[in-house]
Chain A
Amino acid sequence: MLLIIAVITLPALQMVWTSLQLTDETGVSHGFAGLANYQRLFAEPALAGVLSNTVVWVLLVVGVSIVAALGLAQFLNKRFFGRRLVRWALIVPWAASLVMTSTVWRYMLEGGNGIVNRFLMDLGLISTPIGWYQDPRYAFWSVVAVGIVVTIPFTTYVLLAGLQAIDPQVYEAGKMDGAGPWKAYRYITLPLLRPSLVIATILVTIYVFNSFPVIWVITGSNPGNFSDTTLTWAYKIAFREQLNTGEGAALSVINVLILVVVILLYLRAVDGDRERQSWLGRTWAALTGRLSERWGRSGSAGPVPAAASGRVRPRVWPRLRPVVLPLAGLLIAAFFLAPYAVMFLGSFKDGAELYAVPATYLPQNWEWSNWIDVWEVLPLGMLLRNSLIIAVASTALVLLIAVPAAYYTARNRFAGRTTFMKLVLITQVLAPVALVVGIYQEVVYVDGVNQYWAIVVVNAAFNLAFVTWIMNGQFAGVDVAIEEAAMMEGLGPVRRMLRIMLPVVRPGLVTALVFTFIQVWNEFVISLTVFNDPTNDRVTLPVGIQQLVGLNETNYQYLFVASLIATVPVVALFIAVERHLVGGLTAGSVK
Chain B
Amino acid sequence: MKVRRRVQLFSLISVAGLVATGCAAGGGGSSASGTTLDQERCDQITSGTAAGATTSLKQPSGGDQSLRVQQASLKTELPRATVGSKKTISFVGGAYTGTTEAYWKDLAGKFEAANPGYKVNIRIIDWNNIDQQVSTMIQTKQYPDILNQNKFSGWAANGLLQPVDSMVSPSVGNDFIPSFKQNSYYQGSQYGLPLIASTRALFYNKDIFAKVGIEKPPATWAELVAAAKKIKEAGYTGYGLPLGGEENQGEWSLWMWSNGGEWKSGDTWGVNSERNVQTLNFLNCLTHVYKVTQPNPGQTNRTDGVFRPFANGQTGMIMGASFAPSLFKQWNANVNYGVAPIPLNNGTKPFTLGVQDYLVSFKNPGNTEAVSKFLNFFYQSDNYVRFLTSQGFLPTTQSASTALKSDPNFAPYLDLLPIAKFYPSTDPAFPKAQGTLEAQLGTALTPGVDPKSVLDQIQAAATQGNGG
Residues in A lying within 8 Å of B, measured CB to CB = 18, 22-30, 33, 36, 45, 48-49, 51-52, 55-56, 59, 110-113, 129, 131, 134-136, 139, 220-224, 235-236, 238-247, 265, 279, 282-283, 350-352, 355-357, 377, 436-437, 440-441, 444, 449, 528-529, 532-536, 546-555, 558
Contacts and interface: CB of A to CB of B under 8 A. Distances in A.
Contact of B126 (A244, A246, A546): A546
A229 B108 CA distance: 42
A553 B136 contact: no
A245 B446 contact: no
Contact of A139 (B158, B299, B305, B439): B299
A283 B465 CA distance: 49
A282 B138 CA distance: 52
B436 interface: yes
A131 B299 contact: yes
A265 B298 CA distance: 41
Nearest to B465: A24
Interface centre among B135, B246, B438, B442 (most CB of A within 10 A): B135
B201 interface: no
B161 to A, nearest CB: 10
B373 to A, nearest CB: 17
Contacts of A377: 98
B435 A28 contact: no
Nearest to A436: B136
A349 to B, nearest CB: 11
A536 B122 CA distance: 9
B299 A134 contact: yes
A282 B100 CA distance: 61
Q: Which 8 A-B pairs have the closest CB atoms?
A: A223-B442, A52-B14, A134-B299, A27-B138, A26-B154, A221-B245, A224-B443, A27-B135
A110 B303 CA distance: 13
B211 interface: no
Contacts of B15: 52
B18 A49 contact: yes
A246 B311 contact: no
Nearest to B135: A27
Given A111-B295, A223-B244, A24 B154 contact: yes
Given A134-B296, A246-B466, A534-B101, A352 B331 contact: yes
Interface of B: 1-4, 7, 10-11, 14-15, 17-18, 21, 67, 70-71, 74, 76, 94-98, 100-101, 105, 108, 120-129, 131-140, 142, 154-155, 157-158, 160, 243-246, 248, 294-296, 298-305, 307-309, 311-312, 314, 323, 327, 330-333, 428-429, 431-432, 435-436, 438-443, 446, 461, 465-467
Contact of B312 (A238, A352, A440, A536): A352
Contact of B124 (A51, A244, A547): A547
A355 B304 contact: yes
A26 B303 CA distance: 27
Given A242-B432, A444-B140, 7 more contacts: A49-B18, A52-B14, A241-B440, A440-B137, A440-B142, A549-B126, A552-B323
B136 A529 contact: yes
Nearest to B430: A25
A222 B435 contact: no
A529 B132 CA distance: 9
Contacts of B246: 221
B74 A243 contact: no
Contact of B67 (A24, A52, A436): A24
Contacts of B301: 221
A528 B125 contact: yes
30 contacts: A22-B466, A24-B467, A25-B428, A28-B139, A48-B14, A55-B14, A110-B304, A113-B308, A135-B296, A136-B298, A136-B299, A224-B440, A238-B132, A241-B438, A242-B432, A242-B435, A352-B312, A352-B331, A357-B309, A437-B136, A441-B140, A444-B140, A535-B105, A535-B108, A535-B121, A547-B126, A551-B97, A552-B96, A552-B327, A555-B98
A223 B309 contact: no
Nearest to B67: A24
Interface centre among A51, A282, A283, A529 (most CB of B within 10 A): A529
A456 B243 CA distance: 42
Given A23-B139, A529-B133, A52 B327 contact: no
Contacts of A56: 11
Nearest to B444: A223
A223 B438 contact: yes
A94 B314 CA distance: 38
A534 B123 contact: yes
Given A221-B244, A223-B248, A26 B124 contact: no
A131 B296 CA distance: 7
A245 B136 CA distance: 10
Contact of B296 (A18, A26, A111): A111
Nearest to A29: B139
A235 B128 CA distance: 12
B330 A351 contact: yes
A558 B330 CA distance: 13
A168 to B, nearest CB: 35
Interface centre among B14, B15, B96, B305 (most CB of A within 10 A): B14
A245 B135 CA distance: 9
B155 A241 contact: no
Nearest to A536: B121
Contacts of A546: 126, 128-129
Nearest to B153: A26
B82 to A, nearest CB: 15
Contact of B122 (A223, A246, A534): A534
A222 B128 CA distance: 13
B439 A224 contact: yes
B126 A28 contact: no
A281 to B, nearest CB: 11
A553 B331 CA distance: 10
Interface centre among A55, A223, A444, A558 (most CB of B within 10 A): A223
A533 B125 CA distance: 11
Contacts of B294: 111-112
Contacts of A528: 125, 129, 133
Nearest to A130: B295
A244 B466 contact: yes
A451 to B, nearest CB: 14
A165 to B, nearest CB: 29
Contacts of B3: 265, 279
A48 B128 CA distance: 27
Contacts of A440: 136-137, 140, 142
A441 B160 CA distance: 18
A239 B131 CA distance: 6
A24 B129 CA distance: 19
B461 A223 contact: no
Nearest to B307: A552
A282 B18 contact: no
A536 B302 CA distance: 35
Nearest to B297: A134
B136 A247 contact: no
B30 to A, nearest CB: 19
B435 A243 contact: yes
A33 B300 CA distance: 38
Given A247-B466, A440-B136, A444-B140, A356 B312 contact: yes
A223 B136 contact: no
Contacts of A279: 1-4
A550 B108 CA distance: 21
B158 A357 contact: no
A330 B332 CA distance: 38
Nearest to B301: A221
B253 to A, nearest CB: 16
B76 A224 contact: no
B12 to A, nearest CB: 9
Contacts of B438: 223, 240-241
A370 B463 CA distance: 49
A235 B132 contact: yes
B358 to A, nearest CB: 14
Given A223-B245, A242-B432, A553-B97, A30 B467 contact: yes
